[in-house]
């Protein structure tokens, strides 16, 4: 009884390595797609930096964050009951 728990049960006519061979190329395709996506993203970032739109986006982001910080420390918001 304990031997059945240790040894795997194999189905007749199905090779255990057949499934692994069928899925073998999937990892290669997934890595290739991942590399292509990374290259495209890097290209988009480089183009955005060279055209100046990246600087505008970063400046707007910094201004928005600074506005949120200033609003968070607004004295009226900290003590709404004080006149």
pLDDT in tens, 71-80: 877 766 666 5
Q: What is the pLDDT of residue 6?
A: 60
For 5, residues 6+ apart whose C-beta sits below 8 A from its C-beta are none
* Distance separating alpha carbons of residues 60 and 19, to the nearest angstrom: 52
pLDDT (tens digit, 9 = 90+) per residue, 14-71? 555 666 666 666 678 888 899 999 999 999 888 888 888 778 888 899 999 998 888 8
Strand, coil or helix: what is 69? helix
**C-alpha angle 71-75-81 in degrees, rounded to nearest 5:** 120
pTM, 2 dp: 0.42
């Amino acid at each position: 009884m304990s031997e059945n728990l240790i040894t795997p049960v194999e189905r007749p006519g199905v090779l255990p390595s057949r499934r692994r061979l069928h899925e073998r190329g999937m990892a290669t395709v997934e890595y290739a797609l991942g590399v292509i996506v990374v290259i495209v993203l890097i290209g988009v970032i480089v183009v955005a930096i060279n055209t100046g739109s990246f600087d505008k986006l970063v400046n707007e982001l910094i201004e928005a964050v600074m506005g949120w910080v200033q609003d968070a420390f607004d004295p009226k918001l900290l003590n709404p009951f004080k006149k």
